[in-house]
Structures are given as structure tokens and as C-alpha cells.
Amino acid sequence: MNDLDAEDRLRFEQLVLPHVDAAFNLARWLLRRREDAEEVAQEALLRACRFFRGFHGGDARAWLLQIVRNTCYSWLDKHRPRELMVEFDEELHPQPAATPESIAIANEDRERLSRALESLPPRFREILVLRELEGCSYKEIAAITSIPIGTVMSSLSRARRQLCSALTSSCHKEAIREV
């Protein structure tokens, strides 16, 4: 990282570093792999450091998450462009379960939810992660994703319904397999 004097560094540590968990969590769900998320989150923090002079106070979490999001999309565009093409795709492809028997019962729902969430297009995934896991307000989501608040509501609505139907379709398939 460059361009930080001691005073900037202190401000950066106080304002931005508390949100490293949020940065990683968003990257993990957008990229779906922890190793990639770690690499991209680190890159995003480097960028945040470089752009820190341009940050004049306000919501540091939203500011950082916006950088994380942009970095994730640039990374996806470069490494897995196909994933960005399935924009608002109604056809869902949940990954088949590894071996359902091997999953501990306590973790079963977590696994099922993860797979369903990962089967959604990135734009739906991010809005659910920001709202349901990160607890962001509509205003924050609008700032992070650069979409109007009205669109936040309708996207959330569609994302929630898609997640529900992804959950029922995978439950349904598993039910069939068990029969």
C-alpha cells in the first residue's frame, strides 16, 4: 500500500479496517470461493488505501463495500466473464449436493441455503447478502450498487422470490432422489 502518512494510516485503521469482515463476506458470496475472495478483498483494500484521500467522511462501510464490489466485478469480468452474462436468468442451476449423507444434519440447511444463494445471478446474490447478512439500509445498498432506491426494492423482491424457488426446487429434487 502506498501514499499514507502516519495520520492517514491511523484514520484508515479506525474508519476502514473495522469493515474487513464485511469486505470479505461480500467478496466471498460474489466470487463463491474463499481463496478468490481473500485475493480480491486484499486487492480492494489496497485500492481503498489509494483512494483514501478522496474519502471525505461519511459511511465508511458503504464506501469500502462499493470498492469491493467494483473490484469483484472487474475480477469476474476478467476471470469468469460467463458468470456475468446470466443476468436475471430465470433458469436456475443449483449445484448437485456432494453427498447428502456426509453432511452433518446441523449443517444441512446451511449447505442447502449456500447452494441456493450461489445459484442466483451475482446481482441478486449481492443484494441479498447486503440486506440479509450485512443488514444494510436501502440507502446504503443504493450507494454501494449504484442503483436507485426504487430498483433496490424491486431487485430485493425478485431476489427473495428466486431464492425461495431455488430452495424449493433443490428440496424437490432431493425429495425425488430420496424416493
Partner 1 sequence: MRCDFADSLLQGYFDRELSAASAAEFERHLQYCVQCPAELVDMDLLSERLQFAQLYEPAPASLRKKIRANLRHATAATAMSKPLLWHWLAAAAALLLLAIAGWRVNSVVRTDDYQAELAEEIVDAHALSLQSGHLTGISSNDEQAVKAWFKRRLTFALPARDFANEGFALQGGRLDVMEGRTVAVLVYARHEHLINVFIWPTRERDTSPRVGSRQGYQWVDWRKGKIEFCAVSDASSAELEQLHRLIAG
φ, ψ dihedrals at 121, nearest 5°: -60, 150
Please give the Cα distance from 169 to 90 (Å, whole number).
Answer: 13
Q: Taking CB under 8 A as the rule, does residue 117 contact partner 1? A: yes
Nearest distance from C-beta of residue 173 to partner 1, angstroms = 18
147 makes contact with partner 1 (CB under 8 A): yes
Among the candidate windows 97-105, 160-168, 171-179, which touches partner 1 by CB under 8 A? 160-168
d(CA 138, CA 2) in angstroms, rounded, equals: 33
E strand or H helix at 65: helix 60-79
Q: How far apart are CA 135 and CA 157, in angstroms?
A: 16
Cβ neighbours of residue 37 under 8 Å, at least 6 residues apart? 24, 27, 28, 30, 31
Q: Does 124 bind partner 1 (CB under 8 A)?
A: no
Maximum C-alpha span of the chain: 65
Q: Which is nearer to partner 1, 3 or 179 (CB)?
A: 3
Residue type, 132: E
Please say which residue, 95 or 154, places its beta carbon nearer to partner 1.
Answer: 154
Q: Tell me the closest approach of the beta carbon of residue 17 to partner 1, in angstroms.
A: 7
Which residues form the interface with partner 1 (CB under 8 A)?
1-6, 9, 12-13, 17, 20-21, 23-25, 28-29, 34, 38, 41-42, 45-47, 49-51, 53-55, 58, 62-63, 66-67, 70, 73-74, 77, 84, 87, 109-110, 113-114, 117, 123, 128, 131-134, 137-138, 143-144, 146-148, 150, 153-154, 156-158, 160, 163-164, 167
